[in-house]
Amino acid sequence: MGISENSNINIVHNHKTNSIETANELKGKLRSRGFTVSDTISEDAMVNICIGGDGAFLRAVHASNFSSVPFLGINTGHLGFFQELCPSDLDELIDSLEQKSYSIEEIELLKATVYTKHDSFTVKAINEIAIKGVSSKVIHIDVYIDGDIFEKVSGDGLIVSTPIGSTAYNFSCGGSIISPKLKTLQITPIAPINSKAYRCMNNSLIVPSCSSLVVRPEYRDESSLSIISDGIQYNHHGIREISFGYSGHKLKKLTVEGKSFWNNVREKFL
């Protein structure tokens, strides 16, 4: 599905001074070229432009409930893995929008279905969903792959990440970087405990997306878990089981410069 054939553009930004200044400059340039600009995300637009760092990008995507309109990022933060352009690239961006010289990348969304004692709910993510203890409490989680118990993870928690999210929290915890061309799930323990009492893997585990991946906390930890989706935290009581897989929905990301995933990795990390 391509970009909308209209001239409406949504612009959102964080509250940092350089983000506000960039947003105001971009709005002026766009309006002078005949575009209509909105400060909120609506579905009647050709693109959602997010100004800030990766955190601002992810918050905007979640706040829009994973809008079907393509997203594009302008980096005024630090790493900016999702933020393809710099504030100095505004004229180039507008030229690309006018000439339609861009491409649309589709990103698979991760989904966790959480079952509690009384109900169930789902959580989606672009990068990862982490399971951690409330107030940094050590937790014990049984990991099941394709219906079989694989191991018990004891420690601060675990991360389930997508390939595009393998460069985020997963990478900081020692996980591997995976090409987004591969459809996998990566399970990475957070500060695992290894002692005479507890033994678990120190490294990440990569499984195909078709695998059934389920985690179950020990009964004493059912009310001590936080579910963190792309940095957004949810606390629920009585969690019995969490199953992971792809949601079937995709996020569209507009790309102007055509940089490859590995070019991004090299520029941001090496």
Q: What's the CATH number where 188 sits?
A: 2.60.200.30
Same domain, yes or no: 115 and 240: yes
DSSP string, 196-218: SS----SS-EEEETTS-EEEEE-
Tell me whether residue 31 is in a domain.
yes
Is a pLDDT exceeding 60 seen at residue 4? no
Same domain, yes or no: 66 and 168: no
pTM check: above 0.75: yes
Tell me whether residue 74 is in a domain.
yes
Q: H-helix or E-strand containing 55?
A: helix 54-63
Query: What residues act catalytically?
Result: 54
Same domain, yes or no: 91 and 122: no
7 alpha-carbon distance from chain centroid: 27
**pLDDT score recorded for residue 181:** 92
- Binding-site residue numbers are 54-55, 59, 127-128, 156, 164, 167-172, 191
Same domain, yes or no: 96 and 133: no
Domain that holds residue 149: 109-248
The model's confidence at residue 222, banded by pLDDT at 50, 70 and 90, is low
Is a pLDDT exceeding 50 seen at residue 239? yes
- Binding-site residue numbers for NAD(+) are 54-55, 59, 127-128, 156, 164, 167-172, 191
- Across 127-140, average pLDDT: 91
Tell me whether residue 198 is in a domain.
yes
Same domain, yes or no: 89 and 113: no
Tell me whether residue 145 is in a domain.
yes
The model's confidence at residue 1, banded by pLDDT at 50, 70 and 90, is very low
pLDDT tens digit sequence for 140-153: 999 999 999 999 99
CA distance 202 to 190: 9
Same domain, yes or no: 92 and 193: no
- Across 246-261, average pLDDT: 87
- Across 64-75, average pLDDT: 96
Contact 45, 69 (CB under 8 A): yes
CA distance 260 to 255: 10
CA distance 130 to 108: 17
